[in-house]
Amino acid sequence: ILTPAYASPEQKRGEPAKPSCDIFAICRVLQRLLEKIPEPKDADLSAIAAKATQEHAADRYLTAQELLQDLERRRTHQPVTARHQTFGYRMNRFFRRRRFEAIAAGLAIVGVLGGSAVAVFGYVRARKAETLAVEEAASAREVSKFLVRLFETSDPDRSKGQQVTAK
């Protein structure tokens, strides 16, 4: 005796029951429960249920232990084997597991980038100030040379009685 809505395809064909048939039935119940949950659906649970209710027994969890391991992975925010292991999915699971560490690392990165930006801004300002100081020093040297020449020309010992003009 079997319940058609929850029986595995091999049971419906009259083949002997195996653990994978029980896993199929349990996950059919899980699928029915998930259908009753309002949005958003739990993608990990849906993937686990879909894997456990595959048409071919070889595509399902072979043991209850495998199913339990995937359910435990889902509970601890680790990637479940029933889902495609994309980079985005794995990163999502990592950040769910390590939320505090991820936030701390993000803040550290922002701090380093902010500190670097301040340092670069300070360096650029210092370089501009240095360039201006070099230009001002060159200008001051020229003015100093001019004044020295002016006073040397006006020196009575050098002009030897000649009239000094501003020409």
Segment 63-98, tens digit of pLDDT: 999 999 999 999 999 999 999 999 999 999 999 999
Residue 132 has pLDDT above 80, yes or no: yes
Taking residues 106-120, what's their average pLDDT? 96
DSSP state of 61: -
Taking residues 24-31, what's their average pLDDT? 90
Q: How far separated are the first and last CA of the chain, in Å rounded? A: 126
**Using CA atoms, how far apart are residues 142 and 134, in angstroms rounded to an integer?**
12
Taking residues 95-109, what's their average pLDDT? 93
pLDDT for 114 equals 95
Burial of 46 (0-12, 13-18, 19+ CB in 10 A): middle
- Kindly list the distances between the CA atom of residue 10 and the CA atoms of 20, 28, 144, in Å, as whole numbers in the listed order: 10, 15, 105
**Using CA atoms, how far apart are residues 77 and 98, in angstroms rounded to an integer?**
9
Contacts of 93 (CB under 8 A, 6+ apart): 77, 78, 79
Q: What is the pTM of this model?
A: 0.61
55 phi and psi, to 5 degrees? Answer: -60, -45
pLDDT tens-digit map of 134-146: 999 999 999 999 8
